[in-house]
Amino acid sequence: MRRVVCKELGDPADLLIEDVPPLDPAAPGRVVVDVKAAGVNFVDALFVRGKYQIKPQPPFTPGGEVAGIVRDGGDGVTGFTPGDRVIASCGLGAFAEQVDVAESSLYPLPGDIDFATGATLVQSYATALFSLERRTQLRSGEWVLVLGAGGGVGRACIDVARHLGGRAIGVASSVEKRRAATEAGAFATIDPTTEDVKTRARELSHGGVDVVVDPVGGSLAEPALRALRTYGRYLVIGFAAGEIPRLPTNQILLNNRSVIGVDWGAWGMQNPDDNRALVDEAVRLVAEGELHPAKPTVFPLERAGDVLGDLEQRRIVGKVVLEP
Ligand SMILES: NC(=O)c1ccc[n+]([C@@H]2O[C@H](COP(=O)([O-])OP(=O)(O)OC[C@H]3O[C@@H](n4cnc5c(N)ncnc54)[C@H](OP(=O)(O)O)[C@@H]3O)[C@@H](O)[C@H]2O)c1
């Protein structure tokens, strides 16, 4: 079977394709899945560059989420049988024709969700639900300022905010990304390259937003914090801009604001049952038409390096999947 391999940490352009023996039969407690689509996330690029908090040693196959069909279950696997449609959050290994995952990482994929969409659900939507339902409880009518609104997490947060009755304002750097934010349900968008984010967000929300969703960091963080009204909550999700911002704490004290950390991955490992319920909720809401993930752009497996490069260069709108 073919797989993408990272032989040396660094530029995703150096990723290779190699042919290796099939992964089945599965080991005890493990499930071998024939990959139909692998979701591409910013964190995959961080793994390849060796810049993520977890640093796998090369050689390894990147790819943290997948949709496919169960080929084989090892001894002790009781919940899945060959032929089942599944999605999984697997950390690594998904950029391949087959992936080997723990049974505990697998979720059933309903027939009304296609494989490409299924491969993009877990990371973005679990993070969005965890952020807006668990780390803060977004209330109907609240204003949510979403940075990186045309990216995976940002767009999903707009969709979830809309679902919860919130009014999202999307901040994104290109016309295409702002259009994607609007299609996801944003009430309004802001172009940070030409508009003052704090002033415009305050105008649009008639005085200040209730929640900031920040998967980007960098120079937009402080204006976003200053856009919060009294009791506003600032959700720290990620640092796609590459710079971890230093927020002025007087701006947290003023107006009794709160800064809230969001680490869905660690929470999921510490609370596997709660995480299973969260992912099942995301899948159910998509299947029922309550949430609307974007239709992903599809590339062949061989383009993994290009796609990760495009992600790093901010050229990707919405989500991308690789199909073997
Ligand atoms: N805490 C958690 O539990 C959790 C879970 C999932 C993901 N994350 C993190 O969330 C962040 C976003 O993930 P994602 O999948 O949404 O990524 P994404 O799809 O690539 O979107 C990130 C957005 O960040 C903006 N950006 C600004 N400067 C950038 C730069 N130098 N390089 C790349 N993007 C830049 C871009 O929007 P503009 O062009 O509009 O500025 C881009 O659309 C990542 O850091 C990821 O590790 C955290």
Q: What is the pLDDT of residues 33-86, one digit of tens each?
A: 999 999 999 999 999 999 998 899 999 999 999 999 999 999 999 999 999 999
* Residue 305 confidence (pLDDT) above 90: yes
- Cβ atoms within 10 Å, residue 192: 17
Tokens read off for 140:
């109907």
> Contact 124/96 with Cβ under 8 angstroms?
no
**Ligand 1 lined by 150 (C-beta under 6 Å):** yes
Average pLDDT for 21-34: 96
> What is d(CA 159, CA 149) in angstroms, rounded to the nearest whole number?
10
- CA gap 284, 57 in Å, rounded: 36
C-beta 240 within 6 A of ligand 1: yes
- Angle at alpha carbon of residue 113, lines to 109 and 115, rounded to 5°: 75
Distance of CA 282 to the CA centre of its chain: 12
Tell how far the Cα of 222 is from the centroid of ligand 1, in angstroms.
Answer: 17
Q: Which residue CA neighbors atom 47 of ligand 1 most closely?
A: 43
Find out whether the beta carbon of 226 lies less than 6 Å from any atom of ligand 1.
no
Q: Which of 52, 216, 236 to mutate to test the pocket of ligand 1 (most atoms within 8 A of CB)?
A: 216
In our burial notation (b when 16+ CB lie closer than 10 A, e otherwise), range 1-10 reads: bebbbbeebe
Q: Is 292 helix (H, G, I), strand (E, B) or coil?
A: coil
State if residue 312 touches ligand 1 by the CB under 6 angstroms criterion: yes
pTM: 0.96
Q: How far is the CA of 125 from the centre of ligand 1 (A)?
A: 14
Ligand 1 mean position, distance from CA 148 (Å): 6
Task: Supply 145's token pair.
Answer: 């300022």
pLDDT of 54: 87
pLDDT of 294 > 90? The answer is yes
Distance 272 CA to ligand 1 centre (A): 25
151 CA from centroid of ligand 1 (Å): 6
Q: Are 291 and 282 in contact (CB under 8 A)?
A: yes
Give me ligand 1 centre to Cα 154, in Å.
Answer: 8
**Whose C-alpha lies nearest to ligand 1, atom 27?**
241
Average pLDDT, the chain: 97
Question: Residue 53's pLDDT is what?
Answer: 84
pLDDT in tens, 216-271: 999 999 999 999 999 999 999 999 999 999 999 999 999 999 999 999 999 999 99
What span, in angstroms and rounded, lies between the C-alpha atoms of 218 and 244? 6
Quote the percentage of the chain above a pLDDT of 90. Answer: 98
Q: How many residues does the chain have?
A: 324
242 close to ligand 1 (CB < 6 Angstrom): yes
Q: Which atom of ligand 1 is nearest to the CA of 149?
A: 40
Answer yes or no: is the C-beta of 172 below 6 A from any ligand 1 atom.
yes
Band (pLDDT 50/70/90 cuts) for residue 169 is very high
Note whether 203 and 228 are within 8 A (CB). Answer: no
Q: Which ranges of 227-323 does DSSP label H, i.e. alpha helix? A: 250-253, 264-270, 272-287, 304-312
Neighbours of 202 (CB within 10 A): 19
Indicate the pLDDT class of residue 272, thresholds 50, 70 and 90. Answer: very high
pLDDT band at 187 (very low <50, low <70, confident <90, very high): very high
Maximum pairwise Cα distance, the chain:
61
- Reduced to 3 states, what is the DSSP secondary structure of residue 213? strand
Q: Which atom of ligand 1 is nearest to the CA of 130?
A: 3
* 49, two tokens: 């560059």
Q: What is the mean pLDDT of residues 7-18?
A: 97
**Which class for 141: exposed (0-12), middle (13-18), buried (19 or more C-beta within 10 A)?**
exposed
Q: Is the CB of 216 under 6 A from ligand 1?
A: yes
**Can you tell me the distance from the alpha carbon of 23 to that of 2, in angstroms, rounded to the nearest whole number?**
11
The stretch 264-291 carries a mean pLDDT of 96
Q: Which residue has the tokens 């984010």?
A: 197
Proportion of the chain above pLDDT 70, given as a percent:
100
What mean pLDDT is predicted for residues 286-303? Answer: 97
